[in-house]
Structure 1
Amino acid sequence: MENSLFFKAPWSQTLITITTLVCVVLLAMVLLFLILGLQQQNPYFLLWIILPIGIVVMTALFMVRGYHLDGDRLYVERLGWRTEIALENLESATYDPTAMDGSLRLFGNGGLFAFTGKFWNKKLGHYNAYATAVRLTVVLKWPNQTIVVTPEKPEQFVAAILRR
C-alpha cells in the first residue's frame, strides 16, 4: 500500500474564465482609482486601490493546488498552507461528475481561484467543497458530513482512499 500520494487539482475552463475575468475587472478598478485618485487628490483613493488587490491576494491564499493522501489523512494543499481532513469513519468515496450540479453556495468562494466553502444541493444536501474542476468530483461521506474534492484522476483517487 502506498503511504503517501499526491493528486493535482486541475482547473476547469469555467474556473479559468471566472478567475481571469474577475482579475481583469479588479485590475481595471485599481488603474481607474489610481488615475482618478491622483487627479482629484482624494485621500481615500489608496483604500480603493488596496481593496481589489486584497481581494485577489486573500482568495489566492485559499486556492486548491492539490490533494495529498498520507496515512489516514487527506490534506487539501493550498497556497502556502493545507487543510487537514481525517479519514477515520469514512463511509464512502465515489466519483460522481454531476455531484455539484444545481448547487447553491451558502458561504465561500464561487470561482475566484477555486470553488470552496459550504454548499447545498438536492443530491448531497449540505457539503463542503474544495474544488477546481466540477466534472472531476469525488464525494467523501462520513456519518455527519460530506466533502467534495476534484483530483486530476478521480477513479485512482477513490481507489487509493478506499485502500486506507
Structure 2
Amino acid sequence: MPIVADSATFRQILGHYPTGVCAITGMQKDGTPVAMIVGSFTSVSLDPPLVAFFPDKASSSWPNIEACDGFCVNILADDQEGLCRTLASKVPAKFDGVPHHLSARGAPILDGALAWIDCSFHAIHEAGDHYIAIGEVHALDIHHPGAPLLFHKGRYGKVAPLL
C-alpha cells in the first residue's frame, strides 16, 4: 500500500534522487554580489533558451537574488563543497575571499565552477512553498571539464570515476 506523503516522508523519499548543486549569483544595484545554493535546476526550453530553479519561499537569500537584474547559474564542481557551504551560510559577506569575475551582464561567475549560464528573469511563478524562477539564457560557457558536486540522501557527494 502506498504511503501518504507527509512533508518529512516526501523529503526522505525524494532524497533518494541525486541532484546537482548550483550557485545562483547576482549583483545588487549597489554593487554587492549575492548568492544562493540550489539543488533544483533544470533546462526548460531550447527555443528560446530557458532554464529554471526553484527557490524556497522561506529563503533569506532569494529576495536578494530576485532584486537583481538577472542571475548566473554556476554549476559547482565536486571539489567546491567548501564554497557551497560558504554561499549557503547566513554570513553577510558571502563573497569575501571568493574568487570570481563578472559576466557581460554583471553577475558573478565563480572561478572553478564547471560551467556558467547568465540569464535575465523571464518569469517567476508561485508553486506551493517554492517559486519557479525561469531565466532567459543570454550567455553560457564551460569553465573546465570535471565532475559535478552532487547532493544525495542529505549529503554531498561525487560521481564515481568511469572505469
TM-score (norm 1): 0.25
The structure with the largest strand share of the pair is: 2
TM-score (norm 2): 0.25
Question: Which of structures 1 and 2 has the larger relative contact order (alpha carbons within 8 angstroms, sep 6+)?
Answer: 2
The structure with the largest helix share of the pair is: 1
**Is the radius of gyration larger for structure 1 or structure 2?**
1
